[in-house]
Amino acid sequence: MAARDARSWAVRLRDVHRVYSRSGAPVPALRGIDVDVAEGEFTAIMGPSGSGKSTLLHILGLVDTDYEGSYEFCGRRVSGFSSDELAPVRNREIGFVFQAFHLLPQLSILDNAALPALYARDRTREDCFDTARARLEEMGLGDRLEHKPTELSIGQRQRAAIARSLVNRPRVLLADEPTGALDSKTAQEIMDILGELHLRGSTLILITHDREVAESAERVIHVRDGQIHDGVA
Amino acid sequence: MARYTTEWLKQLLSFAWDGLAGQRGRSALTVLGMAIGTASVVVVVSIGLVGRDYVVSLIEGVGSNLVFAYGTGDGINPEELDFADVDVLRNEVPGISGIAPVLDESVTISVRGQPRPLTVLGTTPSYADVRNMLVEWGRFHTEREDANGEKVVLLSKELADKLYGGAPPAGETLRLFDLRFQIIGVFREGVESAAAVNRSEVSGLTVIVPFETLRNVSPVRDIDVVYMQAVSPSAVPAVVQRVRDIIASRHRNIENFKVESLEQYLVLAEKVSSALTAVLIAIAAVSLLVGGIGIMNIMLVTVSERTRDIGIRLALGARRRDILIQFLMEAGILSVLGGTLGILLGAGGPLWAGAAYDMPVPISLLSVIVALAVALFVGLFFGIVPARRASDMNVVDALAYE
C-alpha cells in the first residue's frame, strides 16, 4: 500500500452506499465500499451476478449519481457535482463501454463514434469525424463506417462502442464485460486492444466473468453482496 | 463554460434532424396529427363564418335600406293605405331614393287548359331597384308606360316557364281583365330569401303591370304595401319615423298600420350569428382537443425510446441544455411543419372550394392563429416535457427506461 501513495489516484471511493428501491422496498446494492485505483492501473472487477459490480462501475463512470459516500475522480471530489458539472468529466475524462453498447440505433457507427467529440465542443466538426474515423479504423471497422449498429455483428458493435469510448482519449476507460458476448477469437482481439491501451498508459477498469481476462489485469477486485473482498481469488 | 455559438446550435440542429430522420414514421404522423388538428379548426370556423355571412346576405338581399309600410288588416276597424297616401309619401319623405307602391289583384288564367290563380301586382318602375328584382329577359316598364297606363306586363320566371317552357316570350301577349297585355320581360327575385323574412309577394305565378294600369283596369283601391328605399342605412330610422308620422296624421289609428325596416331582421341575424359563433368556438375547441391529444399520443409513444437516446447522450457528455435545445428544435420543426401544412389545408381547401363555386369564403385569421398556437404549444409541450424529465433522470435509469 505504501508504494501506491506515491502515485496519483484515478478513482477513490469511500464508504459508498447504493440502495435501489424496488416496488417501494429498499434493496441495498452497495454497502460501504472503498475502492482505490491508481492512474495507469489495469483493474478487473469480478463477482457473481447481482453482487453490485455493475452498480459499482456505473458509479465510477459517473452515470449513476444516486449513491451516498465520497468519490474522488483524478483528484477532484465529484460526489455532489451537478449534472452539468459532471457532463465535461464524463465527456473528456471517462470512456465507458456499456454491456449493451448503447449505440444510437438511428445513427451510423461513424456518427455514433463522433458524438463524444462533438459534445466536447473544442474541435471543428471535421476534426471530430476524422478522429472518430481513425478510432474506428484502428478497431478494424474502416469499411463499416456508414453502417447502422443493427447491420453489424455483436463483435463489431463491441468494437464500435470501444472506438466511441476512446474518441476523446479519456484518462479512465471503464468496460462492462467487454468480452462477455463474444467468441474466444473476437474476445482475444478485444483484449489485445485493451491491453495495448493499458500499455500506453490508460487506466482500465473492467468487469469480467472470464478468469483469463482477469489474469491479464494487474489487480482483481472481488465484489460480493455489495461489499469488496479485495485480493481474494 | 462555452457559450452557445452558431456553430454549436447548428450541430444541435443536426442532432435534432438526425432524431427526426431516425423516426420518419413518428415524425410524419406527428406532422399529420398537427396538420389535421390545425386544419380542422380553421375549416370548422370558416364553415361557420360562411353560414353566418349567408344568413346576413339573405336578409340584406331582400333590398338594401328598405322601409315598407302597410295596413295590417287586423283590428276592430281596419284601415289600408290609399292612393292619396302614396302621393303624400312620395312628396313629403326626405331621404328616400325610390318609392314603389304595390296594388295586388288576384285573377284566374288558363295555363295549358287548366285554370290557375294568378297574382297581378301593379307597381312603379322603382320596384325593380327597391325590391332587388332581376329582369331575366326583356326590361322593366318605364315611368312613361306607368304614367300612360299602358298595357305591358312582366311575368315571373315560374309563370314564363309554365307558359313558354323557358323560351323568351318575345312578341307574345297575355290576356288579363279581358285585355291584351304586351309581354315585355321576365323577372325573378335577386335572392331567394325574401320568403324567409316574409316579404315575398312575387313568388309563384305572378305578373307585374304598371301601377296606373292596374289602377285603371281593376276595382282594387287598397294599397297592399308601399316600399321605400332610404338613401343610406343611417337614413333608415328617420325615414321610418317620418312615414309613421305621415300615416298617423292621415288615418284614424296608426295601430292599424305597420312601418318596418329590415333592421329588426338584421338584429335577429346578429343574434343568430353570435349563437353560431359560440357553437363554432365549442366545436373548434373540441377539434383542438382531439388534435392535441392525437399529437400527444404520437409523441408519448416514443418517450421510452427517446429516453434511452437521451441517456446515451448524457453518458457521452451532453449537458442538460444540449438535450433540451435539441428536443426543442425537434418539436419545433415538427410543430411548424404540421401547423403550416394544417393552415395550407384548412385555408386552402375552403378557398379552393369557394373559387370553384364562385362564393366568397372568409378565413378567420384568429382561428388560424389560435389553431397554430395550440398546435405549437401541444407539440412543444409534449416534445419538451418528456425530454426535460429524461434529462433530469439518473443516467443509468434513463438508459434502462422501459
Mean pLDDT, consecutive 10-residue segments, chain A of 233 residues? 62 94 86 93 93 94 94 94 94 94 93 95 92 93 95 92 94 92 83 89 92 90 89 46
* End-to-end CA, chain B: 34
Position B166 confidence tier, pLDDT thresholds 50, 70, 90: confident
Over residues B260-292, the pLDDT tens digits come to 887 777 777 778 778 877 887 787 778 777 777
B175 to chain A, any CB pair closer than 8 A? The answer is no
Position B302 confidence tier, pLDDT thresholds 50, 70, 90: confident
Q: What angle do CA B68, B71, B73 make, to 5 degrees?
A: 145
More confident residue, A92 or B349: A92
Identity at A36, one-letter amino acid code: D
pTM of the model: 0.69
**How far does the CA of residue B306 sit from the closest CA of chain A (Å)?**
10
B366 to chain A, any CB pair closer than 8 A? The answer is no
B316 to chain A, any CB pair closer than 8 A? The answer is yes
- Predicted confidence (pLDDT) at residue B1 exceeds the cutoff of 60: no
CB B333 within 8 A of CB B25: no
Find cell 478468469 and name the residue.
A211
**Cα dihedral B132→B138→B141→B142 (10° resolution):** 100
Residue B68, pLDDT score: 87
Nearest CA in chain A to B22: A106
CB B250 within 8 A of CB B88: yes
Residue A226, pLDDT score: 92
Nearest to A8 by CA among A28, A37, A33, A34: A37
**How far does the CA of residue B401 sit from the closest CA of chain A (Å)?**
12
A118 closest CB neighbour out of B11, B23, B314: B11
Residue B388, pLDDT score: 86
The span from the CA of B40 to the CA of B280, in Å, is 12
Mutate to test the interface with B, among A22, A63, A166 (most CBs of B within 10 A): A63
CB B116 within 8 A of CB B108: yes
Most confident of A26-35, B188-197, B362-371: A26-35
Q: Which residues of A166-179 are buried (b: 16+ CB within 10 A; e: fewer)?
A: bbbebbbbbbbbbb
Nearest CA in chain B to A167: B316
Residue B64, pLDDT score: 63
Mutate to test the interface with B, among A56, A82, A96, A107 (most CBs of B within 10 A): A107
Partners of residue A118 in chain B, C-beta under 8 Å: 11
Nearest CA in chain B to A166: B316
**How far does the CA of residue B2 sit from the closest CA of chain A (Å)?**
8
3-state class of A69 per DSSP?
A: strand
Low-confidence winner among A194-198, B35-39, B296-300, B363-367 (lowest mean pLDDT): B296-300
Nearest CA in chain A to B19: A106
Complex ipTM: 0.93
More confident residue, B6 or A71: A71
Q: Do B318 and A125 touch (CB under 8 A)?
A: no
Q: Which three cell numbers stand for residue B294?
A: 392525437
Nearest to A96 by CA among B311, B325, B389, B15: B311
The span from the CA of B71 to the CA of B82, in Å, is 10
Nearest CA in chain B to A87: B317
- Predicted confidence (pLDDT) at residue B393 exceeds the cutoff of 70: yes
Residue B130, pLDDT score: 82
More confident residue, A154 or B30: A154
Most confident of A129-133, A152-156, B216-220, B382-386: A129-133
Over residues B113-145, the pLDDT tens digits come to 888 888 899 999 988 888 878 888 889 999 999
The span from the CA of B228 to the CA of B67, in Å, is 5
Residue A2, pLDDT score: 43
The β-bridge relationship of strands B152-156 and A227-228 is unpaired
Q: Do A84 and B320 touch (CB under 8 A)?
A: yes
Read off the DSSP letter of residue A155.
H
The span from the CA of A14 to the CA of A24, in Å, is 27
Helical segments of B251-319, H only: 263-301, 303-315
B309 closest CB neighbour out of A96, A104, A120: A104
Residue B42, pLDDT score: 84
Find cell 447522450 and name the residue.
B313
Other CB atoms within 10 A of residue B250 CB: 15
Partners of residue B326 in chain A, C-beta under 8 Å: none
The span from the CA of B95 to the CA of B243, in Å, is 11
Q: Do B18 and A111 touch (CB under 8 A)?
A: yes
Mean pLDDT (chain B) is 83
Residue A190, pLDDT score: 85
B311 to chain A, any CB pair closer than 8 A? The answer is yes
- Predicted confidence (pLDDT) at residue B63 exceeds the cutoff of 80: no
Q: Which element (helix H / strand E) includes A204? A: strand A203-207
Over residues A77-115, the pLDDT tens digits come to 999 999 999 999 999 999 999 999 999 998 999 999 999
Other CB atoms within 10 A of residue B305 CB: 15
Length of chain A: 233
3-state class of B264 per DSSP?
A: helix
Nearest to B298 by CA among B1, B104, B31, B9: B31
Q: CB pairs below 8 Å between A and B: how many?
A: 77
Nearest to B81 by CA among B215, B222, B201, B228: B222
Nearest to B78 by CA among B264, B248, B254: B254
CB A92 within 8 A of CB A119: no
